[in-house]
Amino acid sequence: MGDAAHLMLPFGEGANLALEDGAELGLAIAANADNPEAALSAYEEQMFIRVESAANDAQAMAGILFGDETPGALLHFFNQYKTGS
């Protein structure tokens, strides 16, 4: 669940993913109560799809924070959210 189940850089999504993982796994078990292997397979299939964007976002943030273009990339990241510009 959470960080333990997802091979990705930790950028603040672990608790969110753990909550989603628990809910999704519970739904999969309820839908396949007589077949735990099928429940786990269904859960994992959906988990990989659901987590892909979080993993991509974490990789992008790593580039912004630790890449060759830092600190300029970080300034650009925050400037895109300025209001009143």
- What pLDDT shows up at residue 85? 54
Q: What is the pTM of this model?
A: 0.67
- pLDDT string in tens for the chain (85-residue length): 666 677 787 777 888 888 999 999 999 999 999 999 999 999 999 998 988 888 899 999 999 999 999 999 999 999 998 876 5
Q: In a 10 Å sphere around its CB, with 0-12 CB exposed, 13-18 middle and 19+ buried, how is residue 14 labelled? A: middle
- What pLDDT shows up at residue 59? 92
Kindly give, in sequence order, each residue whose CB lies less than 8 Å from that of residue 78, ignoring residues fewer than 6 positions away.
none
Kindly give, in sequence order, each residue whose CB lies less than 8 Å from that of residue 73, ignoring residues fewer than 6 positions away.
63, 64, 67
- What pLDDT shows up at residue 84? 64
Cα–Cα distances (Å) from 10 to 13, 32, 37, 62, in that order, read 7, 31, 29, 9
